[in-house]
Amino acid sequence: MRKSITLFAISSILFSSCAEWKKAADDENKIEFSVEEGGGRKEKRRPKEEVVNNPNNGKTTAVSSSLLEKYAVQLGVDKKSLVFPELYAYIDGWIGVPYKYGGNTKEGVDCSGFVNAVYKDVFKTVLKRSATEIIGQCKEINKSELKESDLVFFDISGKNSHIGIYLQNNRFVHASTSKGVMISDLTQSYWQKAWGRAGRIL
């Protein structure tokens, strides 16, 4: 009887989803393993995480060190200069999401919908829906005063018709009509010509 119970328990483990990740007992070494067909076990070392505290909402979040390094390289800055690590962890899940007018999900999002999602989930701040309305919630600042998380506005199809979130070193993240959510450079001629204004949420 005991042998039958043991075999049933083993079978239950083996026939659970083979793609499901299991935590090893050694959390300190950040090791995970997956159960493969045939009962084998494949270990995978998780990337080192850094525990960071967001001063805006008091949340403590574990952010992958390699993720922060990736964005630091992309922005051309030192990893330690990233003010809101949680911001980068969040936008990483949105990069490549297609543009959809009026959209506000990862199925498709427009520029103001993306900014709304970031501010709501990362900074716990509710913004108005359109770029022209959001400008009214901002204190206008000079382009030279831009800091991480400030908003940038562009006059493309009209005044304040496009919006993005400033990161660092002239880079900003936004939902573009052509490539969806992406990081662009303010120094590119297109964005220089379309430049409208910069704002900081009050």
Q: For residue 51, what are the β-bridge partners?
A: 62
Residue with tokens 């045939």: 38
For residue 125, the 8-state DSSP code is -
Determine whether 138 is an active site residue.
Answer: no
DSSP H or E segment with residue 138? strand 138-141
Sheet arrangement for strand 21-23: 21-23, 31-35, 41-45
For the record, the structure tokens of 174 come out as: 């936004």
User: Which entry of 84, 115, 162, 171 is annotated as an active-site residue?
Assistant: 162
Query: Which candidate, 200, 163, 161, places its Cα nearest to that of 184?
Result: 163
Determine whether 162 is an active site residue.
Answer: yes
User: Which entry of 72, 89, 97, 111 is annotated as an active-site residue?
Assistant: 111
User: Which entry of 166, 174, 180, 186 is annotated as an active-site residue?
Assistant: 174
CA distance 165 to 179: 16
Catalytic sites, residue numbers: 111, 162, 174
